A and B are shown apart, each in its own frame.
Chain A
């Protein structure tokens, strides 16, 4: 069997007295797209942030391509190039143009300088932002900003992408353009883990759905199984509340 891209075992995480993750086990194969669904506060975002070491885990292993990146003291710097993350609130750098936002890491981390320029311009073209490279974030719509954030992560050529509710802060009419970006990445065979509230999108594209509740993965399976025939009572309740 192919080695999993990401393998989490027994991951626990607490903030002070509040335990947010109670022993998570999850593997993601190369090219797989996994969607984490569940109510706010169920631990989806924290789980994503543990996958790239942004939040240190308390116990358990997070193996990225076989290497345990959750080992205390592990140098995450080089790993971060292999795993990109996009946040709900875009987090673009407001004092830089869209192009500068994207070029910063390739210039400073990969030391590519202008060599990366054609590649970066290609990414902007591909995602329909060719004419917006010189604009500042506050001159772009939410959907455009979020697409720039995706391009910024992609410019580091990650093998794995994490998406933390990236459409939740957008006006409804802008959600589609960002989901199209995800579709396009899916077609590339990018390994992706999404925390999302877009149930229709998850059902259409995900290889696997993980329903999270109170810090555990309560149920996981193929989209059709989860959405049409959930086994657990709490999965049924959650789906009933969001799929009205």
Chain B
């Protein structure tokens, strides 16, 4: 026997679902009907949404995407380690370490202030231009360096905000037990701070995954560059759409996971 309220709520839910379904159908119907009416639709369709080319280039592009994943995978530990070091340098309070603090502040300002693509160009073309011997002129190395410089600056700021969000009472409790400043940071503050900023750092990593494609400008044949090669070979833009789809397959689940972590975190703290 359902209660009066449950019956009412079930009715309301059915009504809401019906309305949502109808309005979605109308919008999709309009799009499907209206877009082909555009004068250039036939040209766009054949050069961006060519099914045959999509199927033909997909396996190669998916294979090349492994290069993106590899660059991403070796960048992440470097970014996290350097980001942590910069965050700690910015928090150093001892007078002797003042230069370190200044360095941290300048580093963050500098590398957060330059567009990633510009840094990729400057580092990726500039440093090999010094005439370094192989393998030290590899665009893989210097492209990675550019990404690490930019993203470690962001991660440092995220970590620093995490460190500052840990309530002073935690630090006081540790200090009153006789722990040194160093041990207090290492065992009490940092573990909590890092946990707290996991969702923010996840978003960082999603952005990084996409920015790996910027390395295509300085040489590495990753997915964006390979798509460009196919585009030239086949005189068709569909490979770019394929690349976009492959990116989405990775970034959408990752973003959703980050959102999930963020929500769980928020719920846990209220």
Whether A52 contacts B169 in the complex (CB less than 8 A), given A95-B195, A108-B183, comes out as no
Chain A 101-114, CB within 8 Å of chain B: the 1/0 string? 00011001100000
Q: Does A85 contact B (CB under 8 A)?
A: yes
Min CB gap B23→A, angstroms = 43
Q: Does B172 contact A (CB under 8 A)?
A: yes
Please tell me if the beta carbons of A104 and B173 are within 8 angstroms of each other in the complex.
no
Interface centre among B173, B174, B175 (most CB of A within 10 A): B173
Please tell me if the beta carbons of A93 and B175 are within 8 angstroms of each other in the complex.
no
Quick one: which of B177, B192, B195 contacts A109, CB cutoff 8 A? B177
Min CB gap B194→A, angstroms = 10
**A153-B177 Cα distance, complex, nearest whole Å:** 7
Quick one: which of A78, A94, A95, A152 contacts B177, CB cutoff 8 A? A152
Chain B 50-74, CB within 8 Å of chain A: the 1/0 string? 0000000000000000000000000
Q: Does B178 contact A (CB under 8 A)?
A: yes
Q: Does A19 contact B (CB under 8 A)?
A: no
Quick one: which of B169, B175, B176, B177 contacts A104, CB cutoff 8 A? B177
Quick one: which of A84, A87, A93 contacts B188, CB cutoff 8 A? A93
Interface centre among B178, B180, B192 (most CB of A within 10 A): B178
Q: How many residues of B contact A (CB 8 A)?
A: 17
Quick one: which of A87, A89, A109 contacts B178, CB cutoff 8 A? A109
Please tell me if the beta carbons of B175 and A105 are within 8 angstroms of each other in the complex.
no
A-B residue pair count with CB separations less than 8 angstroms: 55
Quick one: which of A78, A84, A104, A153 contacts B179, CB cutoff 8 A? A104
Please tell me if the beta carbons of A54 and B177 are within 8 angstroms of each other in the complex.
no
Please tell me if the beta carbons of A105 and B177 are within 8 angstroms of each other in the complex.
yes
Q: Does A62 contact B (CB under 8 A)?
A: no
Kindly list chain A residues whose C-beta atoms are within 8 Å of the C-beta of B253.
Answer: none
**A104-B187 Cα distance, complex, nearest whole Å:** 8
Q: Does A172 contact B (CB under 8 A)?
A: no
Kindly list chain B residues whose C-beta atoms are within 8 Å of the C-beta of A152.
Answer: 177
Please tell me if the beta carbons of A80 and B175 are within 8 angstroms of each other in the complex.
yes
Q: Does A81 contact B (CB under 8 A)?
A: yes
Q: Does A47 contact B (CB under 8 A)?
A: no
Whether A91 contacts B195 in the complex (CB less than 8 A), given A105-B178, A109-B178, comes out as no
Min CB gap A12→B, angstroms = 21
Q: Does A77 contact B (CB under 8 A)?
A: yes
Q: Does A28 contact B (CB under 8 A)?
A: no
Q: Does B191 contact A (CB under 8 A)?
A: yes
Q: Does B46 contact A (CB under 8 A)?
A: no
Min CB gap B183→A, angstroms = 5
Chain A 68-83, CB within 8 Å of chain B: the 1/0 string? 0000000001101100
Kindly list chain A residues whose C-beta atoms are within 8 Å of the C-beta of B180.
Answer: 77, 108-109
**A78-B175 Cα distance, complex, nearest whole Å:** 11
Min CB gap A142→B, angstroms = 16
Please tell me if the beta carbons of A91 and B170 are within 8 angstroms of each other in the complex.
yes
Please tell me if the beta carbons of A78 and B173 are within 8 angstroms of each other in the complex.
no
Kindly list chain B residues whose C-beta atoms are within 8 Å of the C-beta of A94.
Answer: 192
Q: Does A217 contact B (CB under 8 A)?
A: no
Which residues from 28 to 55 on chain A have a C-beta closer than 8 Å to any C-beta of chain B?
52, 54
Min CB gap A161→B, angstroms = 11
Min CB gap B266→A, angstroms = 16
**A65-B42 Cα distance, complex, nearest whole Å:** 92
Quick one: which of B176, B179, B192 contacts A52, CB cutoff 8 A? B176
Kindly list chain A residues whose C-beta atoms are within 8 Å of the C-beta of B177.
Answer: 80, 84, 104-105, 109, 152-153, 156
**A85-B174 Cα distance, complex, nearest whole Å:** 11
Please tell me if the beta carbons of A95 and B192 are within 8 angstroms of each other in the complex.
yes
Supply 24 A–B pairs (Cβ within 8 Å), ascending by A.
A52-B176, A54-B176, A77-B180, A80-B176, A80-B177, A80-B178, A81-B178, A84-B176, A85-B176, A87-B172, A89-B169, A91-B172, A92-B173, A93-B170, A93-B174, A94-B192, A95-B195, A104-B187, A105-B179, A108-B179, A109-B179, A109-B180, A153-B176, A156-B178
Which positions in A face B, CB cutoff 8 Å? 52, 54, 77-78, 80-81, 84-85, 87, 89, 91-95, 104-105, 108-109, 152-153, 156
Extra pairs beyond A104-B187, A108-B179 (8, CB < 8 Å):
A77-B180, A91-B170, A91-B173, A104-B177, A105-B177, A108-B183, A109-B180, A152-B177
